[in-house]
Amino acid sequence: MTGDTTPIHGREPRPGGPEWIERYRGSLMNTFGDPQRVLVHGEGAQVWDADGNRYIDLLAGIAVNALGHAHPALVKAVSEQIATLGHISNFFTSPPQVELAEKLLALLGAEGKVFFANSGSEANEAALKATRRTGRTKLVVAEGSFHGRTMGALALTSKEAYRTPFEPLPGEVTWVPYGDADALRAAVDGETAAVVLEPIQGEAGVVVPPEGYLRAARDVTREHGALLWFDEVQTGVGRTGDWFAHTPSGVTPDLVTLAKGLGGGMPIGACIGVGDAGSLFGPGNHGTTFGGNPVATRAALAVIDTIERDDLLTAVDELHRLFVEEFSSIPGVVEVTGRGLLLGVVLERPVAADVMKAALDAGVIVNAPTPDRLRIAPPFVLTSQQARDAVAAIRSVLAEVLP
Ligand SMILES: *Cc1c(COP(=O)(O)O)cnc(C)c1O
């Protein structure tokens, strides 16, 4: 192996980026296109690439690394657990698994039961299968939704380009415009198994529904005996400044799915069934080999404990205000959507992809979920100085891209 080697903070020198990209092309399926960078090291809200360049990470692995990179509490929890008991299969349980299930129910403030999986899609597959246990098969799902890429989750994901190459997909889905309570009321009837909603749509560009929408969804599902399922895979575990994005609505759903932020970077998903919905599955109805293993659940406990101990929900709110104020003052930004640290920066023209690329060159990681929106979903441990530096870089980029 030849090529540029740059020492990174006293660590082993690594070969430069381009060589890894070549090897990536030669060995990984081309599902994502070329990676934007080769990353080798992270600390807090910063990461470094193989050439030694530093980046402020405003994306956190797509709303995953709530505690940032290499957080000591997470490192300790995972290291201790893997050194003690790493994996056991679901023929057995372990204290962290039980503790995490109890903790999630306590945060939700509801009686219920939890099923652990390894990803958002799998959490949603579990919920989807649970809805079948009602004896009904029809689902009402919102346009703009993203629920994952496995066949069941894909059936509930609205983007045609993702779905059409893989049809037929399971399920009988009625699509309704997101945020339109009347359309929802018109679509739900006595044959509806569940209404599936993100409390804030993430992949659609951080779209917040009108006040009262989640309540309307609760009312109409209750009226027709249908389940209300909130996909909080992106919004859950503190991301919006509350433990769950639906918390301020006062609504109690029947199913809640979690994943991204839950493990702070360790793969874990959860499907929570509230009340009777927690008993839709019986023995043999569903399963997983890895789901809820001791390392993943211990990691999630460390994430939740750290958010509580360091009062990170308050930090999320404070950073929210800083970002909204700073981004709103940039010429070419027409609106800032979202709550907490899940923000959509709406641009006056569809140049989000160009801005994302130029921001990366300037040392800031964001992404462009739609042509005219940037998504900001940084670690909760981002400092206000890092936030200001990152926005200043994006301000300069926009001045160039949007003259
Ligand atoms: C990311 C996401 C998923 C899929 O999660 P994976 O871990 O990628 O399978 C599902 N729902 C929502 C709302 C998401 O943001």
Q: Is residue 125 part of a domain?
A: yes
- Is 233 annotated to bind a ligand? Reply is yes
DSSP state letters, 343-398: EEEEESSS-HHHHHHHHHHTTEE-EEEETTEEEE---TT--HHHHHHHHHHHHHHH
Residues 344 and 292 in one domain: no
Active site annotation includes 138: no
Residues 258 and 205 in one domain: yes
Q: Is residue 253 part of a domain?
A: yes
pLDDT for 8 equals 41
Residues 202 and 332 in one domain: no
| Strands lying side by side in the sheet with 46-49 | 39-43, 46-49, 54-57, 364-365
Active site annotation includes 231: yes
- Average confidence (pLDDT) per 10 residues, the chain, 403 residues: 41 67 96 95 97 97 98 98 97 98 98 98 98 98 98 97 96 96 98 98 98 98 98 98 98 98 98 98 97 98 98 98 98 97 98 98 98 98 98 97 87
Q: Is residue 188 part of a domain?
A: yes
Quote the ligand 1 centre to 331 CA distance (angstroms): 32
Residues 84 and 233 in one domain: yes
H-type alpha helices, 145-203: 151-155, 160-163, 181-187
Quote the ligand 1 centre to 234 CA distance (angstroms): 6
Q: Is residue 11 part of a domain?
A: no
Q: Residue 267's domain is classified under what CATH number?
A: 3.40.640.10
Active site annotation includes 357: no
Structural domain count of the chain? 2
pLDDT for 171 equals 83
Residue 368: give the domain boundaries: 17-65+311-401
pTM above 0.85, yes or no: yes
Domain end among 309, 329, 354: 309
Q: Is residue 9 part of a domain?
A: no
Phi, psi of 280 (to 5 degrees): -65, -35
Residues 129 and 177 in one domain: yes
Residues 241 and 121 in one domain: yes
Domain end among 309, 341, 357: 309
- Using alpha carbons, select from 57, 63, 60 the residue that is nearest to residue 232: 63
Q: Residue 345's domain is classified under what CATH number?
A: 3.90.1150.10
Domain end among 266, 285, 309: 309
d(CA 270, CA 232): 10
Residues 344 and 252 in one domain: no
Residues 182 and 294 in one domain: yes
Residues 45 and 110 in one domain: no
Quote the ligand 1 centre to 146 CA distance (angstroms): 7
Residues 139 and 168 in one domain: yes
pLDDT for 15 equals 56
| Candidate from 65, 118, 121 with most ligand 1 atoms within 8 A of CB, to mutate | 121
Q: Is residue 137 part of a domain?
A: yes
Q: Is residue 225 part of a domain?
A: yes
Q: Which amino acid is at 27?
A: S
Residues 299 and 268 in one domain: yes
pLDDT for 17 equals 74
User: Which listed residue (49, 231, 242, 372) is catalytic?
Assistant: 231
Phi, psi of 12 (to 5 degrees): -55, 135
Residues 148 and 269 in one domain: yes
